[in-house]
Structure 1
Amino acid sequence: MLTLANVIKRYPGNPPRTVLNGVSLELREGECIAIMGESGTGKSTLLNLAAGLDKPDGGRIVFDGQDLAALDDDRKTLLRRARMGFVFQAFHVLPNLSAAQNVALPLRLNGVPAADVATRVAAALASIGLADRADTLPRDLSGGELQRIAIARALVHRPSLVLADEPTGNLDHDTATRILQLLRDMTRQSRAAVLLVTHSAAAAASADRVLRLTREGLAPSAPPVERTL
C-alpha cells in the first residue's frame, strides 16, 4: 500500500539540516502503524512526504504502486483527494459549515452525486453518534465531537490510506480513548491502512505495530507497547 525506501529530507541552512536520514517503511492494506519519537525528529515531515505534500531529497515513496515523484502536482492532488484521508490534532473543521457540510466536503470534491452525498453523510454521522448534530456549527460542538467530525470527514470517501497527526493531542483521556476506538473500528471495516503519528503511548497501543523515529531512522519501539484496543 505505502512504501518508503531510504527516504532523506533536508531543510535549507548553513549547513543544511537533515531531518530524515534513510527512513524505510512498509505499510500494508488494513494495517495501522504508529510512529513515535521526540519532538523535532521529523514525524510530521514523514506524514507530509507520505501524502506527497513535500518532496524527499533522496529515496522513493510509492503509494498503491505509484511513485509519487513521477506525478505532477495536479495528479498528486487528485490522488490525495480520492485515495487519502487526513486526521489532524487541531481538527481543521471549517467554522462556517455545519457538521454535515464538513463531512460532505471530500464527497463533493470527488464529484459524488448530491443524492449519494446526503445518504453517505447521514450514515457517517450516525456511525459516530452525531446524527442529531448534522446542522450544528463547530462553535457549538465539544472537542470530542469536533474530532469525531474530523474522523468522519477523513473516512467518508472510503480512502485507502489514512494519515493521522496527533489525533488525540487536544482531548482528555476518556475522550481520546473513544476517538481511537472509533478510528480503528472505522478503518478496520474499510481495510484502510493507517499511519499514525503520536506522542501518546495510549494512542500507539491501538496500532498493529509501533515504530520509533530517531535521527538514525525507524526502528521497532522498545519496550513493546501493550495493545489495548
Structure 2
Amino acid sequence: MLTLSNVIKRYPGNPPRTVLNGVSLELREGECVAIIGESGSGKSTLLNLAAGLDKPDGGQIVFDGQDLATLNDDRATRLRRAHMGFVFQAFHVLPNLTAAQNVALPLRLNGVPAADIAARAAAALASVGLADRADTLPRELSGGELQRIAIARAVVHQPSLVLADEPTGNLDHDTATRILRLLLDMTRESRAAVLLVTHSAAAAASADRVLLLTRDGLAPHAPPLYLPPEERTL
C-alpha cells in the first residue's frame, strides 16, 4: 500500500535543517497508523511526502507500486485525486458550496458521470448523519458538522489511502470522540488505510499502531498510552 524507506527531508538554511532523518514505514491495506511527536518534529511534513505533495531529499516513497518521486506534477495530482482522501484540522470546505457540493468535488474531479454524482454524494452525507444538511452552506454549520462533511468528502470516491492531519484538533472532546470513531468506522468498512497525525493520546490510542516520530525516525510507541481523564472515553 504505502512504503517509506529511509526517507530524509531537509529545508534550506545555513546550515540546512534536517526535519526527517531515515524515516521508514510500511502501511498496509485497512490499517490505521497514528503518528505522534512533539510540535515541529515533522509530522505534517511526513504527510505531505506521503501524499506526493513534496519530494524527499533521500530515500524512497512507494504508493500502490509507484515511486512518488518519479511522478511529474500531473501524474502525482491524478494519483492523489483518484486514490487518496484528505482530512484536515481546519476542515478546508469551500465556503460558497453547499455541503452536498463540497462532498461531490472528488467525484467531479474524477470524472464520475453526472447522473451518479448526486446519489453518491447524498449517500456519503447520510453515512455521516447529515442527509438533512445537503443544501446548507458551511457558515451555517458547526465545527463538528464541518468535519463530518470533510470526512464524507475524503471517502466518497472510495480511496485506498486516507491522510488525516490533526482531524480532531479544532473540536471539543465529545465531538472529537464521535468524529474519530466515524472516520475509523468508515475507513475500516472500505478497507482504506489511514495515516493519522495527531497530538491527542486518545486519538492515537484508537489506531492499530502508534509510532513516535523523533530525530532518529519512527519508533513503535508501546501501549498503553497515558490518557488524561478527559480523554479516556475514546
What SS is found at the alignment partner of 1:111?
coil
Encode CA deviations 1:57-112: one digit per residue, 9 max, x unaligned: 00000001111112111000000000000000000000000000000000000000
Is this contact kept in 1: 2:19–2:41, CA < 8 A?
A: yes
Alignment of 1:140-219 (within 5 A): 140-219=140-219
Distance of 1:126 and 1:57 partners within structure 2: 43
What SS is found at the alignment partner of 2:4?
strand
Counterpart code for 1:213: L
TM-score of the two chains, using structure 2 as the length reference: 0.96
Is this contact kept in 1: 2:93–2:146, CA < 8 A?
A: yes
Distance of 2:108 and 2:77 partners within structure 1: 15
Which residue number in structure 2 is paired with residue 16 of structure 1?
Answer: 16
- Percent identity between the aligned chains? 89
Counterpart code for 1:157: H
Distance of 2:70 and 2:45 partners within structure 1: 20
TM-score of the two chains, using structure 1 as the length reference: 0.98
Q: CA deviation at 1:223?
A: 5.0
Is this contact kept in 2: 1:205–1:228, CA < 8 A?
A: no
Distance of 2:27 and 2:135 partners within structure 1: 37
Distance of 1:124 and 1:156 partners within structure 2: 6
Gap runs ≥5 in structure 2: 227-231
Distance of 1:213 and 1:223 partners within structure 2: 16
Distance of 1:121 and 1:225 partners within structure 2: 37
Q: CA deviation at 1:224?
A: 3.1
- The count of residues paired between Structure 1 and Structure 2 equals 229
Q: Does 1:26 align with 2:13?
A: no
Gap runs ≥5 in structure 1: none
Is this contact kept in 1: 2:99–2:135, CA < 8 A?
A: yes
Distance of 1:175 and 1:61 partners within structure 2: 34
CA root-mean-square deviation: 1.2
Is this contact kept in 2: 1:24–1:218, CA < 8 A?
A: yes
Distance of 1:30 and 1:54 partners within structure 2: 25
Which residue number in structure 1 is paired with residue 81 of structure 2?
Answer: 81
Is this contact kept in 2: 1:206–1:228, CA < 8 A?
A: no
What SS is found at the alignment partner of 2:5?
strand
Distance of 2:9 and 2:128 partners within structure 1: 37
Which residue number in structure 1 is paired with residue 52 of structure 2?
Answer: 52
What SS is found at the alignment partner of 1:14?
coil
Q: CA deviation at 1:190?
A: 0.6
Which residue number in structure 2 is paired with residue 2 of structure 1?
Answer: 2
What SS is found at the alignment partner of 2:225?
coil
Counterpart code for 1:172: D
Distance of 1:113 and 1:4 partners within structure 2: 35
Encode CA deviations 1:98-127: one digit per residue, 9 max, x unaligned: 000000000000000111111101100111
What SS is found at the alignment partner of 2:120?
helix
Q: CA deviation at 1:206?
A: 1.4
Is this contact kept in 2: 1:210–1:225, CA < 8 A?
A: no
Q: CA deviation at 1:164?
A: 0.1
Distance of 2:44 and 2:113 partners within structure 1: 34
**Compared with structure 1, are the counterparts of its residues 95 and 202 closer, same or farther at alpha carbon in structure 2 (3 Å cutoff)?**
same
Q: CA deviation at 1:225?
A: 2.9
Is this contact kept in 1: 2:177–2:233, CA < 8 A?
A: no
Q: Does 1:113 align with 2:103?
A: no
